[in-house]
């Protein structure tokens, strides 16, 4: 089945869930699942770029994921850093524009450097906008936006009556980006877990009963077809 090229979602966000269960089912360690998950992500982003999707945002590491075993956290961080360094190297051959969303201050200096370098190297690319959420939490993002707005009010740079939805949107990590039209979560879990809390209010949700490493290009096509069947009302009739 083919999706309709005229009614494409502009922005798809993905919660890449199920890496560990995928690995466990194969009798392998969690790290094996994350490595495969990273490969799947690379393939899906390349495909998203090929089909002309404008924005893709993925949840790579949440503010809650620090509670995992240190070894697993380290594995994910090393994977992420290598992943960003690879994109930096391929910045000219793959037309993908990388942005990191989340609180970078808690991450290692090396990781922060890789993030900045990757964003800098890919900033003039004109293909898909690829947002990677790292140390991201939707409530945390809103707390930070609130503090930053309060600070401006305190300094007299902003009046309370200036605070509106656009102002809040523009104080989030995703400032100037469209809200996700569709959020896909793999692995059969039915929740958003603080992913794009503010931005997701009118997103269509799709839950796919497959672990993330098994997600394919056809699954992305299927997600777009499912999205195109939805009637979006944004609160109207
Ligand atoms: C969810 O599966 C996945 C994560 C918490 C991390 C996502 C990480 C990757 C896809 C690999 C690294 C990412 C990049 C960008 C290189 P889970 O661990 O919660 O699995 P489970 O639900 O089966 O326990």
Mean pLDDT of 232-237: 86
Residue 147 lies in a domain: no
CA distance 81 to 87: 10
Q: How many CA atoms lie within 13 A of 79 on its CB side?
A: 22
Query: What phi and psi values does residue 164 have, to the nearest 5 degrees?
Result: -140, -175
Number of domains, the chain: 1
133 lines ligand 1 (CB under 6 A): no
* 3-state SS, one letter per residue, for 171-198: CCCCCCCCCCCEEEEECCCCCCCCCCCC
Question: Is residue 35 within 6 Å of ligand 1 at its C-beta?
Answer: no
- Contact between residue 194 and residue 26 where contact means Cβ atoms under 8 Å apart: no
Indicate whether 237 pLDDT > 80.
Answer: no
From 37, 184, 192, mutation site for ligand 1 pocket: most ligand atoms within 8 A of C-beta: 37
Q: What is the pLDDT of residue 59?
A: 98
Q: Is residue 234 part of a domain?
A: no
Spatial distance between the Cα atoms of 189 and 184, rounded to a whole number of angstroms: 11
The C-alpha atoms of residue 68 and residue 13 are separated, in whole angstroms, by 23
- Please give the pLDDT value at position 173: 98
Residue 192 lies in a domain: yes
Residue 165 placed within a domain: no
Nearest residue to 55 (alpha-carbon basis) of 107, 97, 7: 97
Does the residue 30 lie in any domain? yes
CATH code, 115: 3.40.1180.10
Mean pLDDT over each residue of the chain, to the nearest integer: 97
Helix ranges restricted to H, 90-137: 109-122
Residue 171 lies in a domain: no
Q: Decide if 170 is inside a domain.
A: no
Q: Which domain holds residue 94?
A: 8-137+178-228
- pLDDT at residue 235 in the model: 87
213 pocket-lining for ligand 1 (C-beta < 6 Å): no
Atom 7 of ligand 1, residue of closest alpha carbon: 60
What are the tens digits of pLDDT across the range 188-219?
Answer: 999 999 999 999 999 999 999 999 999 999 99
Going by C-beta distance under 8 Å and a sequence separation of 6 or more, which residues neighbour residue 30?
19, 20, 23, 24, 72, 75
Q: Tens of pLDDT along 176-189? A: 999 999 999 999 99
pLDDT tens-place string over residues 119-153? 999 999 999 999 999 999 999 999 999 999 999 99
Q: Considering only CA atoms, which residue is closest to atom 24 of ligand 1?
A: 20
Token pair of 22 as six digits? 């995928």
Kindly state whether residue 36 falls inside one of the protein's structural domains. Answer: yes
Whose CA is closest to atom 1 on ligand 1? 17
Question: Which ligand 1 atom is at minimum distance from the Cα of 23?
Answer: 23
Ligand 1: nearest atom to the Cα of 72: 18
Number of H helices, E strands in the chain: 7, 6
Secondary-structure breakdown of the chain: helix, strand, coil percentages, each rounded to the nearest 5: 45, 15, 40
pTM: 0.97
């Amino acid at each position: 089945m083919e999706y309709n090229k005229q009614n494409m979602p502009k922005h798809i966000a993905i919660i890449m869930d199920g890496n560990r269960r995928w690995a466990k089912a194969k009798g392998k360690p969690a790290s094996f699942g994350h490595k495969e998950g990273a490969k799947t992500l690379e393939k899906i982003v390349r495909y998203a770029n090929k089909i002309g999707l404008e924005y893709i945002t993925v949840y790579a590491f949440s503010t809650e994921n620090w509670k995992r075993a240190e070894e697993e956290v380290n594995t994910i961080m090393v994977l992420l850093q290598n992943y960003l360094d690879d994109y930096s190297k391929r910045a000219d051959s793959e037309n993908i524009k990388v942005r990191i969303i989340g609180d970078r201050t808690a991450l290692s200096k090396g990781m922060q450097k890789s993030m900045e370098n990757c964003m800098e190297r890919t900033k003039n690319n004109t293909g898909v906008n690829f947002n990677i959420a790292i140390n991201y939490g939707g409530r945390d993002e809103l707390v930070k936006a609130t503090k930053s707005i309060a600070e401006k009010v305190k300094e007299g740079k902003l009046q309370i009556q200036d605070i509106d939805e656009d102002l809040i949107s523009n104080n989030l990590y995703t400032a100037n980006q469209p809200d996700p039209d569709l959020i896909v979560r793999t692995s059969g879990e039915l929740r958003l877990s603080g992913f794009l809390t503010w931005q997701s209010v009118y997103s269509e949700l799709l839950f796919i009963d497959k672990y993330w490493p098994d997600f394919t290009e056809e699954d992305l096509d299927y997600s777009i077809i499912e999205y195109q069947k939805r009637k979006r009302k944004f609160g109207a009739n």
